[in-house]
């Protein structure tokens, strides 16, 4: 997602916007260009607008494990008999995805293989726009042509990658499809690069693909936003293909929003230091963040703080040495995790925690990374007491840093609750799950699959609820 800059003026789209969505209006946001503001008051958990993807594709690395229609993870998927690339849950999903896959199927067969995810997404977008025109629904607020591509702002290595993708795209694009200029193709690639939004699986636990949601592109960034974006894929068990696979996002309010207030979301994780957030935003989205949290470095002191015990703090040198040691070990830990060497991950985390926990505060972002990783891996290895302890510490740290209705905090509390239940600490686990439920009701809404899993219904005992959550989380712990 990016800080969008349209090629048309604010006034040229204003009437269209007013007609299509009474909840929001386009306005000139000081220092940001165009943005969206609320035209009425909203409260925590309100859906401000929802939007289906114009097009979306599964990541290359997950092409055989994720349904290409509903984006559900399945053990056994049915392969498209023609191109041998696309995979589906069943015939229902295959029929639901055929409109997107029809031309892609023939192109893959003719090309001899499936191109990378960027090329596949650009092709799907162009086929749809060629067939349906620039505006494909009454709810669409902006066209792809009007989104800024930032191609002129790309670095030399990015331009080289773009040229390679365009070259491969031209080889892949069928000659019997409408032909486009290099500039038009380049524009679509640029739009995807800075506006593509990560698509999760049906429960929102893992990123499995990328899609384009043009209305969302109009919402500007703030490191401490008043809205959040969640994917809600609709009724995955519906027989009617119309409702089976929707891949829609919902823009939800995190708290009270006054009429006329700008709507904002966070493009990067607030857990990063302000300098790192600014670097990421500049690199990926081509703008300098001027929010108060970046300008003032708000909470940066907590993120690199030393541990205070009985009024005594460690020296700056001790904190620096512990911080540097943590940072050095993060890369080694991440590599061991990617290699599946989980016992080595545990060894590295324990070593770092033993050496730095007496020095670093429970809000120190590198120590939080270690606690988070160790709790997940220990849960996977079924050392539940350790998993419970470190996930509890992680949640306590998150609560001091994140917005109280942050989705990451809600998911962390849910994991911690399950870990405590597995360790036999039922009451503590139940309390954490209740906390998670309160947060996710705001960020995900009552109908989202993950919130439904947290719902404690009269016919379910606590044991049944936690067993269900365990089954949901287990494939995603590592």
More confident residue, 218 or 462: 218
Q: How confident is the model over 105-124, as a mean pLDDT?
A: 97
CA angle 200, 206, 212 (to 5 degrees): 25
Burial of 31 (0-12, 13-18, 19+ CB in 10 A): exposed
CA neighbours closer than 13 Å in the CB half-sphere of residue 88 = 19
Mean pLDDT of 401-408: 96
Q: Can you give the pLDDT at residue 339?
A: 92
Comparison of pLDDT for 118 and 238, the residue scoring more: 118
End-to-end Cα spacing for the chain = 26
pLDDT confidence of 333, banded at 50, 70, 90?
very high
Question: CA 48, CA 51: separation in Å to the nearest integer?
Answer: 10
Residue 395's pLDDT band (cuts 50, 70, 90): very high
Q: Is the pLDDT of residue 119 over 70?
A: yes
Burial 226-245 (b: 16+ CB within 10 A, else e): bbbbbbbbbebeeeebeebb
Phi/psi for 230 (5° steps) reads -130, 145
Beta strand extents in 30-83 (DSSP E only): 33-38, 47-52, 55-58, 78-79
The pair phi, psi for residue 177, each rounded to 5°, is -90, 160
Structure confidence by residue, pLDDT tens digits, 234-244: 554 444 444 45
| Per-residue pLDDT reduced to its tens digit, 193-202 | 988 998 887 6
Closest CA to 174 of 99, 98, 111: 111
Across the chain, mean pLDDT equals 87
84-88, 141-145, 380-384: which has the minimum mean pLDDT? 141-145
Instruction: Tell me 305's DSSP state.
Output: P
Residue 262 has pLDDT above 50, yes or no: yes
Q: How much is the average pLDDT of 7-12? A: 42
Question: 229 - beta bridge partners?
Answer: 251
**What pLDDT is attached to residue 470?**
56
Number of H helices, E strands in the chain: 17, 12
Neighbours of 169 (CB within 10 A): 23
pLDDT top residue among 375 and 460 = 375
Q: Report the C-alpha gap between 419 and 52 in whole angstroms.
A: 35
d(CA 468, CA 463) in angstroms, rounded, equals: 9
Paired tokens of 290 = 């001027």
pLDDT of 360 strictly over 60: yes
The pLDDT of 112-137, averaged and rounded, is 94
Domains parsed from the chain with CATH numbers: 12-262 (2.170.270.10), 299-457 (1.25.40.10)
pTM of the complete model: 0.85
């Amino acid at each position: 997602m990016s800080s969008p800059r349209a090629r048309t003026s604010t006034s040229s789209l204003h009437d269209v916007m007013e007609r299509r969505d009474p909840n929001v209006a386009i306005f000139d946001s000081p220092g940001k260009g165009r943005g969206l503001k609320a035209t009425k008051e909203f409260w925590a958990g309100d859906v401000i607008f929802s939007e289906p993807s114009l097009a979306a594709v599964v990541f290359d690395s997950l092409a055989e494990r994720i349904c290409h229609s509903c984006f559900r993870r399945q053990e056994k998927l049915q392969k498209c008999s023609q191109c041998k690339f696309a995979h589906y849950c069943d015939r229902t999903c295959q029929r639901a995805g055929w409109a997107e896959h029809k031309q892609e199927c023939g192109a893959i067969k003719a090309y001899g293989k499936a191109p990378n995810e960027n090329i596949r997404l650009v092709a799907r977008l162009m086929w749809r726009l060629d067939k349906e025109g620039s505006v494909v629904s009454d709810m669409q607020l902006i066209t792809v042509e009007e989104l800024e591509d930032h191609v002129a702002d790309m670095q030399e290595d990015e331009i080289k990658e773009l040229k390679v993708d365009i070259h491969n795209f031209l080889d892949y694009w069928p000659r019997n499809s409408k032909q486009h200029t290099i500039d038009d193709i380049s524009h679509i690639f640029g739009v995807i690069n800075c506006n593509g939004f990560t698509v999760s699986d049906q429960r929102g636990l893992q990123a499995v693909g990328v899609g384009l949601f043009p209305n969302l592109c109009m919402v500007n960034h703030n490191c401490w936003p008043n809205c959040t974006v969640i994917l809600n894929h609709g009724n995955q068990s519906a027989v009617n293909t119309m409702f089976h696979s929707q891949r829609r996002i919902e823009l939800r309010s995190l708290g009270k929003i006054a009429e006329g207030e700008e709507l904002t979301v966070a493009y990067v994780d607030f857990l990063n230091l302000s300098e790192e957030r600014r670097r990421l935003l500049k690199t990926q989205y081509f703008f300098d963040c001027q929010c108060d949290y970046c300008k003032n470095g708000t909470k940066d002191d907590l993120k690199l703080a030393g541990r205070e015990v009985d009024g005594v703090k460690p020296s700056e040198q001790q904190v620096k040495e512990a911080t540097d040691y943590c940072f050095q070990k993060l890369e080694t830990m991440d590599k061991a995790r990617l290699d599946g060497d989980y016992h080595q991950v545990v060894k590295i985390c324990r070593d770092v925690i033993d050496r730095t926990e007496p020095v670093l505060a429970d809000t120190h972002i590198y120590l939080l990374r270690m606690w988070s990783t160790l709790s997940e891996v220990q849960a996977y290895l079924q050392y539940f007491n350790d998993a419970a302890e470190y996930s509890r510490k992680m949640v306590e740290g998150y609560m001091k840093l994140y917005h109280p209705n942050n989705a990451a905090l809600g998911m962390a509390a849910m994991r911690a609750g399950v870990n405590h239940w597995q360790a036999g600490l039922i009451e503590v686990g139940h309390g954490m799950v209740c906390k998670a439920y309160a947060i996710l009701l705001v960020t995900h809404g009552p109908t989202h699959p993950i919130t439904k899993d947290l719902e404690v219904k009269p016919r379910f005992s606590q044991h049944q609820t936690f067993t269900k959550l365990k089954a949901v989380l287990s494939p995603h712990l590592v």
